[in-house]
Structure 1
């Protein structure tokens, strides 16, 4: 397993890099970097990244493109989380399905990390 120790910070509202007040790129490290990596993995659709078309969550094929199966959705999302470098366990997990928008809403997810710290995803 590769350890996630450091990375550039991603603004959760815009999904973009941002600058600190001193003008330097914002960074994350250790448990916070693991949590950010989980968020990035859950935001990627299978086949979206041209360098590895197998990476990502099969949102359309298995979760949102068919009749909603809560057990299947939960197992697919949890598997993606647990396959993230640095994640040791899922300590809290709450998702729901919005019929009006046909979307899976991630209410809250917390994971334990290899840094002996929990982080909210």
Structure 2
């Protein structure tokens, strides 16, 4: 598995040869998951069905378990993911912000996620 590396601002890196890529590592799958979570369903004009269903299942008057299921499904569908070992989400009603942590078993080893990243 090969994935273009992102810098601390979330921009793809270029001009560093092979160092511009993550290859066959847990971090490769971690970045793939985070990138998939950043794409909202309907945002990509070439495939409007692709993306995380934030408007459909997460934001607004949705039940917390529906939102968690949508996010878990998006994580599970990422290439390189074997299973989700643990998942916990929290919704802050004051800020209307959903955060979650997950431990994911990938084909290269375990990773821990916090989303959004702080």
Query: Please, what TM-score do these two structures have when normalized by structure 1?
Result: 0.80
Could you report, residue by residue, the CA deviation over 1:83-111 in whole angstroms, capped at 9, with x for unpaired residues? 111100011212211212212112x2221
Q: How does 1:1-121 map to 2 (within 5 A)?
A: 5-11=1-7, 13-18=8-13, 24=16, 26-30=20-24, 31-65=26-60, 67-106=61-100, 108-115=101-108, 117-121=109-113
Deviation at 1:44, TM superposition (A): 1.0
**Secondary structure of 1:48's partner?**
coil
State how far apart, in whole Å, the 1-side matches of 2:45 and 2:102 are: 28
Unpaired runs of 5+ residues, structure 2, are: 114-118
**RMSD of aligned alpha carbons:** 1.8
Query: Are the counterparts in 1 of residues 3 and 32 from structure 2 also a CA contact under 8 Å?
Result: no
Unpaired runs of 5+ residues, structure 1, are: none
4+ aligned runs moved over 6 Å, structure 1: none
State how far apart, in whole Å, the 2-side matches of 1:49 and 1:110 are: 28
State how far apart, in whole Å, the 2-side matches of 1:105 and 1:14 are: 20
Could you report, residue by residue, the CA deviation over 1:17-75 in whole angstroms, capped at 9, with x for unpaired residues? 236xxx6153212222111111111111101111211111111122112x241111111
Query: Please, what TM-score do these two structures have when normalized by structure 2?
Result: 0.82
